[in-house]
Structure 1
Amino acid sequence: MRPVRLSVLTAAAVVAALTAVTGCAEKSDSAGGDGAIHVTATDTACEVSKKDFPAGKATIEVENKGAKVTELYLLFPDGRIVAERENIGPGTKATITAEIKAGDYEIACKPGMKGDGIRQQVKATGSGAAEKRSPEADAAVSAYRTYVQEQADETLPKAQAFADAVKAGDLEAAKKAYALSRIGWERTEPVAESFGDIDPKVDVREDGLEAGQDPAKDWTGWHRLEKSLFQDGKITDQDKKLADTLMADLTDWQKKVGQAEITPTSMANGAKELLDEVATGKVTGEEERYSHTDLVDFKANVEGAQKAYELLKPIASKNDPALAAELDKQFASMNTLLDKYRADKASYEFQSYESVKEDQRKELSDAVSALGEPLSKLAAAVAK
């Protein structure tokens, strides 16, 4: 789960996080004259250029004019995520390309990246999203759907091994199983996040709890157990119960994966979201602050992003061959760099992130930026 409080590295630029506010306003339709949906986010408002727009391939242009980091969500009425972009820093802009079916939706700006955000009801009309996809696009979606289901299926036995070790009170076995149990989740996290309710149960950190939640009662999931294992150095009776809760929530995820709304643009946006996960959680050391297994998550995020890209590559290569060539180059460079920190290419035995020096973290951060920039253009390329 992406952090809501970001640490500052002296060698890498990372934006600070914040608190949520409320309020919403509508902007004049004239601002959307270029066909895009323009969203102006501030710390107290979420101005949207149009409440009604054609269904089909849509572009959402977001500008953060506030003083706080924000994020933008396009949501189904039931809260499922259609498209999102997190970590939009003050004074910066972001573009989201998405395929949107006819129907009612909400656009939500979240200053501080917490809470329900500032919401605006919008509607997509017409039949644009019903246009027939190319065979390449259909093949990409089908293969990615298979991939995310496989990752969920493969996660359950690994998570069960972790849970069993916790329930047996075997501290060392639980520590050893912890990072490996998270790989499938980290590879496909944007799909899990699209359901809204599962991610906070499974992957939230203590500082990601909502206002009013009690860590002693409301904090569940991997990171709650991570703290017990790696910081407290003991397994309590409550931890054993939490292991069962984790398995119940992961089983729920595994059953729901097949219902996820997947499109070529959601795959591309999800790949970028995984790189954002790396930039704001793994490079900073925030994600695995007790176990320091950040490099395992880092690698899994990159693998998930690369899988989505490779499935979309036939489309991207046709529509923007220069972009595809750059992405091939940057993914190769990233993987070569990560290989420096593990025993061999076939293993997931990465060194502790505590041992990664500041200049090395800067190198990793620069590589993420070099990959993230072209990856942010993938959705637009596959939507052409």
Structure 2
Amino acid sequence: MHAVRLSVVTATAAAVALTAVGCTQKSDSADGDRVINVTATDDKCETSTKEIAAGHVELAIENKGSKVTEVYVLFPDDRVVTERENIGPGTKQRVTAEVKAGDYEIACKPGMKGDGIRQALKVTGEGAAAKRDPRLDKAVASYRAYAQAQADETLPKAEAFAAAVKAGDVEAAKKAYATSRIGWERTEPVAESFGDIDPKVDVRADGLEAGQKWTGWHRLEKALWQDKKIGAEEKALAGQLVTDLKDWQERVGKAEITPTSMANGAKELLDEVATGKVTGEEERYSHTDLVDFKANVEGAQQSYELLKPVVRENDAALVTELDKQFAALKALLDKYRANKNTYDFTSYDKVDAAGRKELSDGVNSLAEPLSKLAAATAK
């Protein structure tokens, strides 16, 4: 969730951010003109070029400012092509993306707020899509179907949650809350690519921009668990949540999805876990963080499994490591549920410091090799 990343990076999140620095090695590409150097400071966003050929492009990002930043490649309508968030001061990260011919913007967001400092980017020519491995096209089609299925399955669950809120039934709404979020959490990078849906349905209070009204799941979460009451405003917000999720459902099929965006999306989902779920910040009232955690990991693994046939040929050692780390994290999460076929997880406020450290270490162990997935897909 974008709102999670707007919070101050905690010690656990910082550990993951430092792990990501491990992917700052030089690009395997022999083409220096495929790399755009991005230097971010607190008041500047400098790029090494304003024009590049279509295809696989690598952003070599360095944060020379004093604030945590994020860097985006954006379509003219602000839809997200690719992004990398939680880039700490003095650190470097690399992001691989696939871009078609057209006009774009590269945005740096010091403090991870606002519209960012932007530079125009013109992309010319045909690029990688015309000569892409057919198996990757199949992976994209399969992932698009998966994302649509998650949206389709989410809506009735969200409607059940909203119906309980509208009926003023606090306990029924609590029971329906976490389940209504699973499909969203599995495919959140697709939703975030639209730019305007995530802030409506998944923002936290500390992620609000100036003048933004607090709507969505977490506003209702606070009402149910902290305020312990449902009023007219909450009932109206429940209806608005369903309306916004219907918008998401209808737009999923229009999302710009490429093999590298799938790979980057998998990494983003692990970042979601690191910056919100492991820290307990995401579901601070309901403590249903482990449900979101599991859904994020499942979504990341779905992207990986679809890309695996090609990645195995490009980097067999990476596949071996990812298989190992996904299995280890799954086993770790299974410790916190009695039935491995349900989403009935332990309330996160019952997980002690040692347990949270173990979960954090598991995320770190997966995040480092997962950060290499996009580059392996693009070889």
Query: So what's the TM-score if we normalise by structure 2?
Result: 0.94
Alignment of 1:90-239 (within 5 A): 90-213=89-212, 218-239=213-234
Shift of 1:212: 3.2
Distance, in Å, in 2 between the alignment partners of 1:14 and 1:377 is 15
Q: CA RMSD in A?
A: 1.4
Partner of 1:78: 77
Cα distance in structure 2, aligned partners of 1:319 and 1:336: 28
CA contact (8 A) 1:106 1:120 kept: yes
Look up the match of 2:270. Answer: 275
Are residues 1:255 and 2:257 paired?
Answer: no
Distance 2:57 2:51 in 1: 12
Taking structure 1 as reference, are residues 10 and 59 closer, same or farther at Cα in structure 2, changes over 3 Å only?
closer
Tell me how far 1:247 sits from its aligned partner: 0.2
Relative to structure 1, is the Cα distance of residues 374 and 14 closer, same or farther in structure 2, using a 3 angstrom cutoff? closer
Shift of 1:12: 7.2
- Residue 341 of structure 1 pairs with residue 336 of structure 2: yes
Structure 2 equivalent of residue 18 of structure 1: none
C-alpha distance 14-211 of structure 1, shift in aligned 2 (>3 A): farther
1:313 paired residue number: 308
Count of aligned positions: 364
Partner residue of 1:241? 236
5+ residue gaps, structure 1, are 16-31
> What letter corresponds to residue 113 of structure 1 in structure 2?
M
Partner of 1:57: 56
Residue type matched to 1:179 in 2? A
Distance in structure 1 (CA, Å) of the matches to 2:55 and 2:243: 36
SS of the equivalent of 1:156 reads helix
CA distance in 1, matches of 2:118, 2:14: 32
Residue 355 (structure 2) aligns with: 360
Question: 1:142-190 CA deviation, whole Å, 9 max, x = no partner?
Answer: 1100000000000001001000000000000000000000000000000
TM-score normalised to structure 1 length? 0.93
- CA deviations on 1:227-273 (whole Å, 9 max, x unpaired) are 00010000011100000000000000000000001110000000000
| Corresponding position of 1:8 | 10
Is the CA contact (8 Å cut-off) linking 1:7 and 1:284 kept in structure 2? no
1:129 CA drift (Å): 3.8
SS in 2 for 1:87: strand
Query: CA separation of 1:11/1:45 partners in 2, compared to 1, >3 Å: closer, same or farther?
Result: closer
Instruction: Provide the C-alpha distance between the structure 2 equivalents of 1:8 and 1:248, rounded to a whole number of angstroms.
Output: 34
3-state DSSP of counterpart to 1:119:
strand
- In the TM superposition, what is the alpha-carbon distance from 1:350 to its structure 2 partner? 0.4
Partners of 1:52 and 1:233 in 2: CA distance:
54
CA distance in 2, matches of 1:278, 1:76: 27
**Alignment check: 8 A CA contact 1:57 1:129 kept:** yes
Aligned to 2:368: 373
Quote the residue 1:19 is aligned against: none
CA contact (8 A) 2:16 2:367 kept: no
Separation in 2, partners of 1:311, 1:338: 22
Q: Aligned AA for 1:6?
A: V
Q: Which residue of 2 aligns with 1:48?
A: 47
Quote the residue 2:24 is aligned against: none
Give the Å deviation of 1:6.
3.2
Q: Distance in 2 between matches of 1:201 and 1:94?
A: 29
SS of 2:224's equivalent in the other structure is: helix
Supply the distance in 2 between the matched residues of 1:311 and 1:347 (Cα, whole angstroms): 24
Q: Deviations 1:103-142 (Å, cap 9, x if unpaired)?
A: 1000000111111011111100111144232121011011
How far the C-alpha of 1:199 sits from its partner, in A, is 0.4
CA distance in 2, matches of 1:161, 1:131: 44
Alpha-carbon distance change, 250 to 187 in structure 1, aligned in 2, over 3 angstroms: same
Which 5+ residue runs of structure 2 have no aligned equivalent?
A: 18-30
Q: Specify which structure has the bigger relative contact order, considering alpha-carbon pairs within 8 angstroms and separated by 6 or more residues.
A: 2
